[in-house]
Amino acid sequence: MPPGIRDTSQTIQERIAATHVNSLDVDLDSMAAISNIFRVAVMFRNLSERRFLLKHNLTFSGFTVLWVLWVFGKMESYQLAEECGISKGTLTGIVSTLEKHGLIRRIRHPQDGRRKIVMATDRGETLMHRLFPKINRLEQEFVRGLEQTELSSLARMLRIILHSQDTP
Amino acid sequence: MPPGIRDTSQTIQERIAATHVNSLDVDLDSMAAISNIFRVAVMFRNLSERRFLLKHNLTFSGFTVLWVLWVFGKMESYQLAEECGISKGTLTGIVSTLEKHGLIRRIRHPQDGRRKIVMATDRGETLMHRLFPKINRLEQEFVRGLEQTELSSLARMLRIILHSQDTP
DNA sequence: ATAATATTGTTTGAGTCCTAACGAAATCAA
DNA sequence: TTGATTTCGTTAGGACTCAAACAATATTAT
């Protein structure tokens, strides 16, 4: 069985309530929500890699970078890293891997000698054109148990969570 | 600014709708939901590491393993890996790291010579007793923008998503 | 009892991930 | 016009991550 699939949050909640945290100021609902967010993310990442990505020498992170490039076209490195939610050091490694496989290109900035511009090659574009619908179909498969109103409600709540740290 | 913080899903949706995927069978709502789940996970992982974990030589993954051990007590490796949502190979590495820092112990199984049992040391227990409330407070901070009914609705929807792959 | 099969934890290799330090290039200061 | 500061991308080091191969042990079949 793939890792991270089972929903054991109920068990954990009972377990933890019965053992350590009765007295502490712990909120089990918040814990369950965040921990299930991680489970979904892990499950989606692993499943998409096994089904579609790894056979094309793509990791999920590599796919994300290529996807952002496919959507935005040319892009500067620091923007690309921010958009993908990774550090610039990590991006260097991923970009090198993708370049090695001929899926993207590095170009130097015409004015600024420090910056570099990254863009997909034709091979990268073609591959993304084939893979993106499959990934999206998996995304649809994941949320197929939700009504349309629930789905937009979920999206809205996730956006609220994302903004919870705007003014720490 | 930490990576993966900004919620750019709206921008991306417009962008993608305007460029590649008009004709394809693509559902932008599903895409936005899944992609924001990843953003929340990345944000939480990085923030908790920077604020609480790294100064104690703990990664988020190491914390998770130690936490499961703290909740369940002794545990066999293969169960532990499944509960943490990681592969057994990955678990070996994390357990070795935690053992190196004196936070957990490996014990061999009395009957079965293949299996091993993992448990937290006193140092591990003490550290977890101090850290867990802090992590939970961060979890509460993340969902503070949601009503109580919304929070349980979120947890319910995530559970539905987790079960979406039960019968593929 | 012996052989074939299955399971458990480890190792291996490629890749991702972070922070911190680094060199190169641009900008700012005086 | 030097010098200090800032801002890029890269590198270094340590850790996590997977799949696949592996050795040791246990189970099943004949």
Residue A4: pLDDT band (50, 70, 90) is very low
More confidently predicted of A29 and A8: A29
User: How many CB atoms sit inside 10 A of residue B136's CB?
Assistant: 19
Judged by CB atoms closer than 8 Å, whether chains meet at A30 and B151 is answered as yes
Domain A57-168 falls under CATH 3.40.50.970: no
B114 in contact with A, Cβ within 8 Å: no
The residue-averaged pLDDT of A15-19 equals: 65
pLDDT, tens digit, for every residue of B28-74?
Answer: 889 999 999 999 999 999 999 999 999 999 999 999 999 999 988 99
pLDDT, tens digit, for every residue of A37-49?
Answer: 999 999 999 999 9
Question: What are the chain B neighbours of A39 within 8 Å (beta carbons)?
Answer: 85, 158, 162
Judged by CB atoms closer than 8 Å, whether chains meet at B165 and A43 is answered as yes
Judged by CB atoms closer than 8 Å, whether chains meet at B29 and A155 is answered as yes
Q: Indicate the class that CATH gives domain B60-168.
A: mainly alpha
Domain boundary assignment for chain A: 1-54, 57-168
Q: Is the CB of A42 under 7 A from strand C?
A: no
pLDDT, tens digit, for every residue of B133-161?
Answer: 999 999 999 999 999 999 999 999 999 99
pLDDT, tens digit, for every residue of A79-127?
Answer: 999 999 999 999 999 999 999 999 999 999 999 999 999 999 999 999 9
CB A83 within 8 A of CB A65: no
Amino acid (one-letter) located at B97: T
Question: What are the chain B neighbours of A155 within 8 Å (beta carbons)?
Answer: 9, 29, 32-33, 36
Chain B nearest-CA residue for A141: B164
